[in-house]
Structure formats: C-alpha cells, structure tokens
C-alpha cells in the first residue's frame, strides 16, 4: 500500500511540474505596434504602443507574475533575480484578464504608466527605432520569449504569423489593415494556423462535415466489429466450458454405473476390497508364510504337569 501511495505521489508531482512548465512556456510574444495613432485604444481611450501575448497551448494558463522588459541587460545570466526583476515590469496578480484560455491573447499597453492598471507596463517603446522585448517567467530567471522589433511606420505591426508553406512561424511587418490585436495574425496571404487554413479552404464546412461523419461511422463500424468478435469469443469460451462440464458429468455417470454393476456382482463389497484380498492371498501363497497344519494340537511330556488339576482352579485362602 505504501509503495502504491509513493508511486501515486510521484505521478502527481510529475504531472503538476509538467503542467506548470508547459503553461509557462506556452506564452509567446505575438504582435507589437510601436506607433499607434489610429488603432487600438486602452480602457482610458488613449492610443499608445502595445504588445500582444498569446497562449499557444490548448489549455488555460495564467500569465500573472510574469515579466516584460525592453532592457537587454536582463539577459545577463550573472545577474541575481532581484537585480533582474528591477529591470522589468511585472504583470500583477488578481486580474481575471490574465487567465488566458486556449489560444487566447492579451494586450499590454507600453505607456510607462503602471498606475493605470494591470495591462500597463513601466516602460515605453521608441518609435522609429529597433525595440528589444523579452518575456520572463514568474521566477524572474527563465526567458520565455524575446524579439527585436524593427523600425515600423505608423500603425504598422510586427507579427508572428504561421507559414503553411514551411510549417513554421515567421515574423512579418504587417500594414495597418492587417493588424489584429487580440486575434490570430493573418498577413501577406499567410494563415495563422492549420485550423484557420482549413477554415479558409472550406468556408461552408462541407469537407468538415464529411470528415466528421466519416469519423463517426468509422468509429461505429469499429465498435460493431469489436463487439461481434468479442461476442464470438465469449460464445466459443462458453461452449468449450459447457462441453468440459458435460464430459465431466458423463465420466462420473459411467464410473457410477461401473461401480453399481461391480457392486451387484460382489454382493455390495467394493471391487477394490476384492482386489486387495486377492493380492494379499497371492502374496502369501508365493512367499509360503504358512505351514500345512492338521488342526490337531498334540502335547508330549514324560512328567505329569497336573495342568488340569481342579486345585489349580480354586482361589487361595488369604494369609
């Protein structure tokens, strides 16, 4: 029991650690706008530079306590965690918006005004220049993602786009009409992921319907075949078991019949007893253990022993 509990504990620990690691590393920088003059506005109606983070996994993960920074010095591995944290902007806890479901996005405004809320950083982005952006895990040490944004024109974005031709993600400069804050990036004819690509190729869902129905029917056929074979195997096992039981009963009945017949011939005495007696008689005969006797007891003596005297049969008087 203790061994099973220990194995269960190890399995649970491995699952938790694996889930935590996967949740942290599923966050990727997805799109950046440096000079926002006619695009996304924040909750106060202001237009500022913004950074979009995507949860690339199919599970829900929380980006709280992670860090964003534009300071390359944070990449120095010789820095201690407190020293590195001072160079970054932490994503606060306690905001439900930081809990991202599968494939969801969140936008942070790089306006240097953390007093405005969770979605605002303590740094800004520099228009007309290259901007380095890094995303760190909540431990303040693990680098999750980083990019260098090239100089962008007004309302242009630098976006992470899926390329179906190479089956990989690439970074592209997108024009104003291709910017998609909070959504999948689609630019220059490239599709964000295979799901969106399939949707584009099958807008009416005909192929999806055929595939779905095909999967259902294949599954039903597989279940039918499985249960037919399973029923056949069960029937064969039952038939074999029944045949063995009938054979056992038949053998017992035959033995009972033979014993009853032998009992009639031996007047109720078991045949085994007869066999034992005959065997013992044969053994005695072969070994000649008995003398030939006349059934007469003869005793010869020269002296009278008075063995039949009446006095010897009387009780003695006590002294």
Mind listing the pLDDT tens digit for each residue in 10-50? 555 554 444 444 567 899 999 999 999 999 999 999 999 99
Q: Is the same domain home to 159 and 259?
A: no
Average model confidence (pLDDT) for the chain?
83
Q: What is the DSSP letter of 307?
A: T
Mean pLDDT of the 264-291 span? 71
221 pLDDT band (50/70/90 cuts)?
A: very high
Task: Please report whether residue 7 resides in a domain.
Answer: no
Query: Which of 166, 192, 218 is at the close of a domain?
Result: 192
Task: Please report whether residue 308 resides in a domain.
Answer: no
289 pLDDT band (50/70/90 cuts)?
A: low
Which pLDDT tens digit goes with each residue over 197-209? 666 677 777 888 8
Q: Is the same domain home to 137 and 167?
A: yes
Task: Please report whether residue 131 resides in a domain.
Answer: yes
Q: Is 146 exposed, middle or buried (0-12, 13-18, 19+ CB in 10 A)?
A: middle
Please give the residue that has the higher pLDDT: either 31 or 260: 31
Domain range for 69 is 24-192
Q: Is the same domain home to 90 and 30?
A: yes
At 16, list the tokens: 């938790």
Q: Is the same domain home to 90 and 50?
A: yes
Number of domains in the chain: 2
Tell me the backbone φ, ψ of residue 256, rounded to 5 degrees. Answer: -65, -40
Q: Is the same domain home to 63 and 157?
A: yes
**pLDDT in the model for residue 17:** 45
In the chain, beta strands by DSSP E: 27-33, 50-55, 61-62, 67-69, 89-90, 99-100, 105-109, 131-136, 143-149, 157-163, 168-174
Q: In sequence order, which ranges of 161-309 are alpha helices (DSSP H)? A: 194-201, 206-265, 271-287
CATH no. for residue 97? 2.60.40.1260
Query: Which of 192, 226, 242 is at the close of a domain?
Result: 192
Model confidence at 65: pLDDT above 70: yes
Share of the chain above pLDDT 90, in %: 51
């Amino acid at each position: 029991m203790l061994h099973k509990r220990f194995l269960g504990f190890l399995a649970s620990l491995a699952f938790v650690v694996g889930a935590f690691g996967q949740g942290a590393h599923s966050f990727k920088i997805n799109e950046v706008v440096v000079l926002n003059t006619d695009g996304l506005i924040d909750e106060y109606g202001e237009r500022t530079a913004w950074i979009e983070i995507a949860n690339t996994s199919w599970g829900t993960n929380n980006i709280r306590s992670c860090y964003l920074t534009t300071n390359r010095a944070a990449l120095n591995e010789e820095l201690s965690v407190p020293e590195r944290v001072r160079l970054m902007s932490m994503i606060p806890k306690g905001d439900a918006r930081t809990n991202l479901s599968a494939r969801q996005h969140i936008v942070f405004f790089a306006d240097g005004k953390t007093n405005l809320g969770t979605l605002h950083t303590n740094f800004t982005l520099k228009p007309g220049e290259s901007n380095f952006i890094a995303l760190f895990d909540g431990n303040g040490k693990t680098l999750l993602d980083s990019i260098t944004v090239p100089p962008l024109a007004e309302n242009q974005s630098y976006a992470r786009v899926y390329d179906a031709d190479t089956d990989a993600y690439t970074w592209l400069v997108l024009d104003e009409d291709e910017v998609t804050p909070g959504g999948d990036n689609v630019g220059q004819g490239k599709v964000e992921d295979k799901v969106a690509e399939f949707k584009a190729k099958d807008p009416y869902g005909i192929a999806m319907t055929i595939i779905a129905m095909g999967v259902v029917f294949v599954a039903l056929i597989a279940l039918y075949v499985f249960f037919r074979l399973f029923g056949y195997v069960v029937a064969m096992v039952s038939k074999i078991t029944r045949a063995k039981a009938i054979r056992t009963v038949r053998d017992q009945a035959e033995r009972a019949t033979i014993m009853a017949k032998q009992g009639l011939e031996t007047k109720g005495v078991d045949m085994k007893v007869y066999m034992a007696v005959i065997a013992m008689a044969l053994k005695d005969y072969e070994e000649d253990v008995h003398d030939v006797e006349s059934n007469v007891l003869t005793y010869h003596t020269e002296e009278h022993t008075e063995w039949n005297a009446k006095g010897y049969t009387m009780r003695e008087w006590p002294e």
